[in-house]
Amino acid sequence: MNIDQLSTPTLILDKARLSRNIEAMTARVRDLGVELRPHLKTSKSADVARLAVAGNAGGITVATLSEAEYFFDNGFKDMTYAACIVPSKLERVAALVERGADLKLITDNADVARAIQAFTDAQGTTLKVLVEIDCGEHRTGVLPEGPELLEIAAILDGARSVSLEGVLTHAGHSYACRTPEAMADVAEDERAAVVQAADRLRDTGYPCPTVSAGSTPCVVHARDASGLTEVRPGVYMFGDMFHVGLGTRRVDEIAVSVLASVIAHRKDDNQLYIDAGGLALSKDRATAAFEGALDCGFGLVCDAHTAEPINDLHIESVHQEHGLVVSSDPLPFDRLPIGAKVRVFPNHVCMTAAAYDAYQVVDSDDDGGGTGIIDTWGRCNGW
């Protein structure tokens, strides 16, 4: 099967680029002297996860219980579920732990800590919990210097069947940075906050084996990882146009693209349409944060075979199944007749990939130019 024979729209994963991205991050994290616990919320794929943990400790990060169940069924045991747990989800968690999963939870709330205590007291299953720290994003998490940290730690550490595993933070505000220096500053704030929280726990007599931080921009640009035990980047595996805008990926490093077909020409308006619209690309407009060519609308349009940009072709707008392709130059209608295929690099690959059940895998290091489909890798969607 060749890329030209695929029905469109479909999701393409370049294994060569993926492998290089993974190897680079593994080397980077080794240099930082911490463990890499890759976040699988982007790829949601056991095949990708196996590559991502190679040469690392084997632990992974997930964002949903559905991911935790899927990865456990695919042989992964050591998992951190890095979104605030709510009491109603503890039964699903306990079922997974009883099957053998080493699943760590996070919380930033004393009421939830008490609910975990009550649940585990009644159930008898020991659950592992980290306290989430707010390192400046002001999303979820307790302040490293505030009273809630010790209050929650006291409840968890005092519970008969709870293991207090440490502290975890996520500097999502690194995505608001526009320079490597700013990202390094956020990484330092992140590190300082979570290490301060860990020190307070230890100074008060609580255990804190895990000190977890991470986002792709922070890990790439951090000056120092002292005091951390692990980092949890995720998007680095694939990259996307937002990361190109941030400067953390080049276009020729992006591993995932949407294969689409030209479905209509509007020559008088210098426009054409492809069959990848809002559902196939997502409505994410992350690159609107950038100026000029770094704002690629809903995606950058590239050659289907070489994956190289075609002039400045990009998706200006989307309907459900239609993507409008425009350019500041005359569009190459002869090169892109109706039915011609293109590859679109998305703004935000986490959102785009979620529309698909599988990756069609190519290898751009192949002699054939990377257009042969060498495998199909599944994904786990939903909750």
Q: Which residues bind a second copy (CB under 8 A)?
A: 7-10, 41, 63-65, 83-89, 92, 108-109, 111-112, 115, 138-140, 172, 261-266, 269, 273, 275, 278-280, 282-285, 319-322, 324, 337-339, 348, 350-351, 354-357, 381-383
Burial (CB count within 10 angstroms: exposed 0-12, middle 13-18, buried 19+), residue 383: exposed
Shortest Cβ 205–a second copy spacing (Å): 27
* Closer Cβ to a second copy, 152 or 225, answer by number: 152
* Closer Cβ to a second copy, 34 or 237, answer by number: 237
Single-letter amino acid code for the residue at 184: A
Shortest Cβ 279–a second copy spacing (Å): 5
Shortest Cβ 235–a second copy spacing (Å): 10
What whole-number distance in Å separates Cα of residue 276 and Cα of residue 282?
Answer: 9
* Closer Cβ to a second copy, 17 or 348, answer by number: 348
Shortest Cβ 318–a second copy spacing (Å): 10
Task: Please enumerate in sequence order all residues whose Cβ is within 8 A of that of 17, keeping only pairs 6 or more positions apart, or say none.
Answer: 239, 252, 253, 254, 255, 364
* Closer Cβ to a second copy, 357 or 375, answer by number: 357
Shortest Cβ 375–a second copy spacing (Å): 18
What whole-number distance in Å separates Cα of residue 247 and Cα of residue 238?
Answer: 14
* Closer Cβ to a second copy, 32 or 263, answer by number: 263
The answer to whether the CB of 249 falls within 8 A of the CB of 239 is: yes
The answer to whether the CB of 330 falls within 8 A of the CB of 21 is: no
Shortest Cβ 365–a second copy spacing (Å): 27
Task: Please enumerate in sequence order all residues whose Cβ is within 8 A of that of 180, keeping only pairs 6 or more positions apart, or say none.
Answer: 221, 247
For residue 365, give the 3-state DSSP assignment.
coil
* Closer Cβ to a second copy, 34 or 214, answer by number: 214
Shortest Cβ 263–a second copy spacing (Å): 4
* Closer Cβ to a second copy, 88 or 160, answer by number: 88
For residue 191, count other CB atoms closer than 10 A to its CB. Answer: 24
* Closer Cβ to a second copy, 87 or 332, answer by number: 87
For residue 355, count other CB atoms closer than 10 A to its CB. Answer: 18
- 266: β partners: 271
Q: Where are the beta strands (DSSP E) in the chain?
A: 10-14, 35-36, 60-62, 78-81, 102-107, 127-133, 162-169, 210-213, 230-231, 256-266, 271-274, 300-303, 309-318, 323-326, 341-345, 358-362, 375-378
Q: What is the DSSP letter of 144?
A: T
* Closer Cβ to a second copy, 205 or 320, answer by number: 320
For residue 324, give the 3-state DSSP assignment.
strand
Shortest Cβ 320–a second copy spacing (Å): 6
Q: Using alpha carbons, list the distances in angstroms from residue 233 to 22, 64, 139, 169, 230.
A: 11, 16, 18, 12, 10
Shortest Cβ 137–a second copy spacing (Å): 9
